[in-house]
Chain A
Amino acid sequence: MKRRTVTALAAGLGLAASLMGTSALAQDKMRIALVVKALGIGFFEAAARGAEEAAKELGNVEIIYTGPTDTTAEGQIEVINALIAQGVDAIAVSANDPDALVPALKRAMDRGITVISWDSGVAPEGRQMHLNPSSNELIGNMIIKLAADHLPEGGQVAVLSASATATNQNTWIAEMNKVLPNYPGIEVVATVYGDDLADKSYREAQGLIQSYPELDAIIAPTSVGIVAAAQAVADAGKIGQINVTGLGLPSEMAGAIESGASKSFAIWNPIDLGYSATMIAHALASGQAKAEPGAVIPIGRMGSITLDETNTAAMADPFVYDASNIDEFKSIF
């Protein structure tokens, strides 16, 4: 008897609570939460700006930009629990740990919340889809294109990579070599390794400058190498003769762009990333698109993405930074 009363009471409480929940959910604005690794990081603040831009374009969308104070999985779980409790419509997360967030995100999906990951992914069972900023193919093509765009007559280029065993860089260079025939007249004369150490990268770049007097460009698909190479070119007085390009961070490359040692370089654009994540979350939460292999989801001004067999998609080509936009981005990341 007693137990039955307790159960009835509990059920009553639950009913009251769920009634309160529905009345609160009866608002028509779609709420999309952008959960980042930690607050106060320039890259993610920029992503939040992109999310706001998407919200404005979509109309009737409220962005909840949130995250823990330090980059821990526990902190993100607390944030996600609070978002589940609020019954947000979608959660787009850049994860501190691909596995630890899975139970919390599964619970979110059980309660009808759309869950996607972006930038730093979650294991497949904890999200509906994952948005990568770019893909290996796109990056490989971009780094050679950056060099070739300034060499209409063709010329010699050399690659300054991280370590010889760095998986990312090796994949990108392999992809670059695949598309090399599309750029006639461009010859890759050497690949050297600076091990992502500033001084070693600098010496390797110096070596390239001395060994290949006809060298036209150095491609460094690493943020450490590109800065060191630009410095070596400037110190050798070869600005205007050798163009340094590759993947780098705007804050670190602003000087090289200003001096002319680098005409342009590329890296993902956090604003576009936040914008696209919001667009995808909106499309999935509103039922306009479904997260399944092969699905094509429109992402506003960024075009569209196609999901592969693991429900992962690449956003776009890496974004190109040059003298026209470096001032805007150098303070962001």
Chain B
Amino acid sequence: MSLAERHIPDRLHPPLRRALLRWESLLLLVAAAIFAANAMASPYFLNAWNLSDATFNFTEKAMVAFAMALLIIAGEIDLSVAAIIALASTAMGAAAQAGVGTPGLVAIGLAVGLACGAFNGLLVTRLGLPSIVVTIGTMSLFRGISYIVLGDQAYGGYPAGFAFFGQGYVFWVISFELALFAVLALAFGVLLHATTFGRAVYAIGNNATGALFAGIRVARVKFVLFLLTGLMSGVAAVCLTSRLGSTRPSIAVGWELEIVTMVVLGGVSILGGSGTIPGVVIAAFVMGLVTFGLGLLNVPGIVMSIVIGALLIAVIALPRLWAMRRRA
């Protein structure tokens, strides 16, 4: 097992590491500032139930974002995640119509997610196609199937027990989704930061050829990452479908960009090779807090998109501007 003993550093230069540390602290600062601003701007913000409701704005997206973070760190991307959610949800809807029970529905949702992820992964790793092109294609393919099946109709009539995943509470204001979000954050944090698999992900993102020569099975790791992303899309589909209680082909439309935004805001380099799970967790909270806070002030959605966009550019540009000024 020479793979386990080989030390592959996350980052090549200690100063860079310090800069990255600053990133998360900067993001945390932003989150705190937004929290304080929200609390001051609206008297309704500091309420346990309201804050609990607000977490639904980001929990499902964040679940996919964790897997997406690993994929982007490894130098690939999956833009079909929202379409996978739509297809998985459609499959669950069709199964519910046929009388399948709650465990069966969850299994179907996860299986469709895995299958879609496997399809993406095969196209990228076996045929060597660029993932951005493949997943733009499968984005239309997966959602297209949903549209063919459903048209302008909707699937409803999910069993009562199925509602727990998106509407149930584990303890007091802690929803099932929030608890799952925490568990997954921990799991992905450990996977990326404390296993050889995580090391391999960084190594591939920094230099895929180098990683290959170092004995890492690059194609296999990438395939697993696509599988994971598909699976997490399936998990998000279960939660979202359960929360909505109905499936339309337009479900989760546009989420792929919000998920990528979350990942990049979390400090993951879009070029691959660096980034952390804690960063993505903070970014999820930042995006959730911003949309909920602005929602409380009844700011129209289009203005919210502008704020999120500005935030993304600001958080990315600030450390760089800082560094430039120091050098000057």
Given known contacts A14-B48, A99-B154, A78 and B245 CB-to-CB distance under 8 angstroms: no
Q: Smallest CB-CB separation from B291: which chain A residue? A: A78
Given known contacts A14-B48, A17-B48, A20-B46, A39 and B302 CB-to-CB distance under 8 angstroms: yes
B156 engages A68 (CB within 8 Å): no
User: How long is the Cα–Cα vector from A332 to B298 in the complex, in angstroms?
Assistant: 23
- Is A72 an interface residue when CB atoms closer than 8 A count as contact? yes
Given known contacts A70-B253, A74-B252, A20 and B47 CB-to-CB distance under 8 angstroms: yes
- Is A82 an interface residue when CB atoms closer than 8 A count as contact? yes
- For chain B residues 269-306, which have a beta carbon within 8 Å of chain A? 291-292, 295-296, 298, 300-302, 304-305
Q: Smallest CB-CB separation from A79: which chain B residue? A: B295
User: How long is the Cα–Cα vector from A23 to B298 in the complex, in angstroms?
Assistant: 20
Given known contacts A64-B298, A82-B298, A103 and B53 CB-to-CB distance under 8 angstroms: no
A69 engages B44 (CB within 8 Å): no
**Residues of chain A lying within 8 A (CB to CB) of residue B254:** 70
- Is B56 an interface residue when CB atoms closer than 8 A count as contact? yes
A78 engages B57 (CB within 8 Å): yes
User: How long is the Cα–Cα vector from A86 to B54 in the complex, in angstroms?
Assistant: 12
Given known contacts A17-B46, A20-B46, A81-B53, A100 and B301 CB-to-CB distance under 8 angstroms: no
User: How long is the Cα–Cα vector from A87 to B57 in the complex, in angstroms?
Assistant: 18
Contact code string B244-275 (vs A, CB < 8 Å = 1, else 0): 11101011111000000000000000000000
Contact code string A71-104 (vs B, CB < 8 Å = 1, else 0): 1111101110110111100000000010110110
Given known contacts A20-B46, A78-B295, A87-B44, A97 and B244 CB-to-CB distance under 8 angstroms: yes
**Residues of chain A lying within 8 A (CB to CB) of residue B167:** 103
User: How long is the Cα–Cα vector from A16 to B300 in the complex, in angstroms?
Assistant: 29
A85 engages B248 (CB within 8 Å): no
Chain B nearest CB from A308 CB (Å) reads 23
Given known contacts A68-B301, A70-B254, A97-B154, A81 and B43 CB-to-CB distance under 8 angstroms: no
Point out the residue from A66, A68, A69, A85 that lies within 8 Å of B47, measured CB to CB.
A85
Point out the residue from B44, B163, B245, B291 that lies within 8 Å of A21, measured CB to CB.
B44
A69 engages B53 (CB within 8 Å): no
- Is A1 an interface residue when CB atoms closer than 8 A count as contact? no
**Residues of chain A lying within 8 A (CB to CB) of residue B154:** 97, 99
A82 engages B302 (CB within 8 Å): no
- For chain A residues 261-303, which have a beta carbon within 8 Å of chain B? none
- Is A10 an interface residue when CB atoms closer than 8 A count as contact? yes
**Residues of chain B lying within 8 A (CB to CB) of residue A71:** 250
Point out the residue from B45, B240, B302 that lies within 8 Å of A74, measured CB to CB.
B240
- Is B213 an interface residue when CB atoms closer than 8 A count as contact? no
- Is B172 an interface residue when CB atoms closer than 8 A count as contact? yes
Given known contacts A71-B250, A72-B250, A74-B240, A82 and B295 CB-to-CB distance under 8 angstroms: yes
- Is B42 an interface residue when CB atoms closer than 8 A count as contact? yes
User: How long is the Cα–Cα vector from A280 to B298 in the complex, in angstroms?
Assistant: 22
- Is A18 an interface residue when CB atoms closer than 8 A count as contact? yes
Chain B nearest CB from A69 CB (Å) reads 4
User: How long is the Cα–Cα vector from A20 to B48 in the complex, in angstroms?
Assistant: 12
- Is A207 an interface residue when CB atoms closer than 8 A count as contact? no
Range of interface residues on B (Cβ < 8 Å): 35 or more
- Is A13 an interface residue when CB atoms closer than 8 A count as contact? yes
Q: Smallest CB-CB separation from A71: which chain B residue? A: B250
- Is A42 an interface residue when CB atoms closer than 8 A count as contact? no
- Is A240 an interface residue when CB atoms closer than 8 A count as contact? no
Point out the residue from A68, A73, A77, A86 that lies within 8 Å of B296, measured CB to CB.
A86
Chain A nearest CB from B217 CB (Å) reads 38
B42 engages A73 (CB within 8 Å): no
User: How long is the Cα–Cα vector from A64 to B44 in the complex, in angstroms?
Assistant: 16
- Is B243 an interface residue when CB atoms closer than 8 A count as contact? yes
Chain B nearest CB from A166 CB (Å) reads 14
**Residues of chain A lying within 8 A (CB to CB) of residue B56:** 77-78, 81
A10 engages B301 (CB within 8 Å): no
Interface centre among A14, A20, A21, A85 (most CB of B within 10 A): A85
Chain A nearest CB from B134 CB (Å) reads 26
- Is A40 an interface residue when CB atoms closer than 8 A count as contact? yes
A74 engages B244 (CB within 8 Å): yes
B43 engages A23 (CB within 8 Å): yes
Chain B nearest CB from A42 CB (Å) reads 16
User: How long is the Cα–Cα vector from A40 to B303 in the complex, in angstroms?
Assistant: 12
B295 engages A73 (CB within 8 Å): no
Contact code string A126-145 (vs B, CB < 8 Å = 1, else 0): 00000000000000000000
User: How long is the Cα–Cα vector from A191 to B222 in the complex, in angstroms?
Assistant: 63
Chain B nearest CB from A77 CB (Å) reads 7
Chain B nearest CB from A233 CB (Å) reads 32
User: How long is the Cα–Cα vector from A75 to B248 in the complex, in angstroms?
Assistant: 13
Chain B nearest CB from A239 CB (Å) reads 37
**Residues of chain A lying within 8 A (CB to CB) of residue B291:** 78
A13 engages B301 (CB within 8 Å): no
A69 engages B305 (CB within 8 Å): yes
User: How long is the Cα–Cα vector from A66 to B301 in the complex, in angstroms?
Assistant: 9
B301 engages A39 (CB within 8 Å): yes
B246 engages A66 (CB within 8 Å): no
Chain A nearest CB from B211 CB (Å) reads 38
Rank and list the top 5 A-B pairs by shortest CB-CB distance, nearest first. Answer: A82-B295, A24-B43, A69-B301, A85-B50, A100-B244
Q: List 16 A-B contacts (CB under 8 A).
A: A17-B46, A20-B46, A20-B47, A21-B47, A66-B300, A72-B253, A73-B244, A74-B244, A74-B251, A78-B57, A78-B291, A82-B296, A85-B47, A85-B295, A99-B154, A103-B167
Give A residues with C-beta under 8 Å from B. Answer: 10, 13-14, 16-18, 20-21, 23-24, 39-40, 64, 66-75, 77-79, 81-82, 84-87, 97, 99-100, 102-103
| Beyond A73-B244, A85-B50, A103-B167, 7 extra complex contacts between A and B, CB < 8 Å | A21-B44, A24-B43, A67-B301, A79-B301, A82-B296, A97-B154, A99-B246
